[in-house]
Homo-oligomer: A and B are copies of this chain.
Amino acid sequence: MIDLQDQHADFPQPNRILKLARRPVGVPVMTDWKILEEPVRAPMPGECVVAVDHISIDPAMRGWIDDVSSYLPPVRLDQVMRALGVGRVVRSRDDRLPVGTVVQGLLGVQRFAVVNGRWLNSVDESLGSARSHLGVLGQTGLTAYFGLFSVGRPVAGDTVVVSAAAGAVGSIVGQLARLAGCRVIGVAGGPEKCRFVREELGFDEAVDYKSENVTEALSGLCPTGIDVYFDNVGGLILEAALANLALHARVVICGAISQYNATIVSPGPSNLWQLLVKRATMQGFLVIDHTDDFPRARAKLSEWLSRGALLGPETVVQGDVDQFPEALLGLFRGDNVGKLVLSLDVSST
């Protein structure tokens, strides 16, 4: 038997942990969370202690904290908030992950994670920065890659429309569609985001849903209809895209951020019959179904990244786990451009 108590005493710093205090109704508020300091327990055989450097902030988090069984079980009350993160192994009882290894996994919103090594992936920093393994080289970029290429299946010359175009996934989707020879139109909120996707990311066109009638704008910009619509938002923008589908269009349901904080049931698009008229397909997907192909996809993303054909925009919040609730709210407000990451400037050993 290992004397765990002794090994607790060994670890020089306390953990700082953000936990779910109660289930939010609508937009999560500060009192839905609590922050505690606890000792870092000693790793058991096979486990590592990881000093968390970067925490991924994702729309899907809102679903994880509802008391609804979904593709992952709900985060439990009084447990650390689930989050993907990147960090460094600082204690190891897994020979494959020696101290100093940079790893990615579900580290949670905390300074130190004690995780079984089998749930950690070592990060290949030759492909891109550690932080980019949460963004363009992480689940974000992989979601864009598989959603677009495996579900949307664009061919050169297609018209591709993506919502939340300046967001983490949308910004990558549009660039990948351009690389595939498509004409790309982004839907984003506000003139600055529209400028960003056109001028920085090279989208052909952008529609500002805050100031334009999206249905009419898409109708004007897509005279032959939308071949692939990549949806991150749901709601009225999905409806506007459905109204402008081309024959045999593919609609990729990647997310529905407009709906995640709804406290009343929000109606869906009123024009689903357009799928019939246009013989179109709407398909939902989760990137976790494509894990076998992650290395191949990551290598392609890395190659485009390294030769400057692909940008991985990021919005980085510096601070401690305390900044998480406000950063999550910012995500739902649309404050970020590209991938939103909370980088901890406090972890060390």
List the interface of chain A (C-beta within 8 A of B): 70-71, 234, 238-239, 253-256, 259, 265-286, 289
Determine the main DSSP class of A at the interface with B.
loop
Q: How far is the CB of A288 from chain B (nearest CB, A)?
A: 10
Q: Known: A71-B277, A267-B267, A277-B70. Contact between A272 and B285, CB under 8 A?
A: no
User: Chain B residues near A269 (CB, 8 Å)?
Assistant: 268, 272
User: Chain B residues near A265 (CB, 8 Å)?
Assistant: 270
CA A136 to CA B254, docked complex, whole Å: 39
Choice from B255, B267, B280, B281 contacting A270 with Cβ under 8 Å: B267
Measured CB to CB, the nearest residue on chain B to A248 is B289
- Indicate the member of A238, A272, A282 with the most B CB atoms within 10 Å: A272
Q: How far is the CB of A213 from chain B (nearest CB, A)?
A: 15
Whether B279 contacts A268 by the Cβ 8 Å rule is no
User: Chain B residues near A281 (CB, 8 Å)?
Assistant: 281-284
User: Chain B residues near A256 (CB, 8 Å)?
Assistant: 272-273, 276
User: Chain B residues near A276 (CB, 8 Å)?
Assistant: 253-256, 284-286
A–B complex contacts, Cβ < 8 Å, 16 sampled? A234-B273, A256-B276, A259-B273, A265-B270, A267-B268, A267-B270, A268-B269, A268-B272, A273-B284, A275-B282, A275-B283, A276-B285, A276-B286, A277-B284, A278-B284, A282-B283
CA A45 to CA B273, docked complex, whole Å: 40
Measured CB to CB, the nearest residue on chain B to A70 is B277
CA A272 to CA B259, docked complex, whole Å: 10
User: Chain B residues near A283 (CB, 8 Å)?
Assistant: 275, 279-282
Whether A279 contacts B289 by the Cβ 8 Å rule is yes
CA A256 to CA B276, docked complex, whole Å: 9
Measured CB to CB, the nearest residue on chain B to A285 is B279
